[in-house]
Amino acid sequence: MVYSQKTGFTLIEILLTITFLFVGLLALLQVFPTALGLERASQMKTQAALLAQEKIEVINSQGYQAALPGDILEEALPSPFQLFSRRTVVDYVDEALQDIGFDAGLKKVEITVSWQASLPIISKEFKLVTLMVAK
């Protein structure tokens, strides 16, 4: 008695399996550059927030009288933050936060940190605003 039972996979089945695995791996590999780009954008935004917070802390530590109204642009920040620029705007404001030209005991401090995105035509920025009250 001879049994002629063939077991195993045909060449077509193996080629289809390899094709499906290859397509799946390609789809999975598409995710990595996107994830790296999102991680980099998050890192830049975090650094910008820290730079803005640092400047606000410096201004607060100097006190209300030392925060002179005006617009100051720092284009060249020290290493490792040379990709960033920081603009500080101090204005006199009233209770409705409208700009006024005289000291009513309230100042608005606005820090804007900008950086160049991966595409050279897109600029990103982070803005932080606080108020200072005369004591």
Look at residue 87 and tell me if it is in a domain. yes
Look at residue 74 and tell me if it is in a domain. yes
Location of structure tokens 């910008």: 48
**Amino acid 2: pLDDT:** 64
Look at residue 4 and tell me if it is in a domain. no
Look at residue 111 and tell me if it is in a domain. yes
What is this structure's pTM?
0.75
pLDDT higher than 80, residue 5: no
**Amino acid 19: pLDDT:** 95
Greatest distance between any 2 Cα atoms in the chain: 110
Look at residue 66 and tell me if it is in a domain. yes
Residue 1's pLDDT band, with cuts at 50, 70 and 90, is: low
91 three-class SS? strand
Q: Tell me the residue range of the domain where 50 lies.
A: 11-133
Look at residue 6 and tell me if it is in a domain. no
Count of domains observed in the chain: 1
Look at residue 103 and tell me if it is in a domain. yes
**How far are the Cα atoms of 102, 119, 127, 129 from residue 86, in angstroms, in the given order?**
25, 20, 10, 13
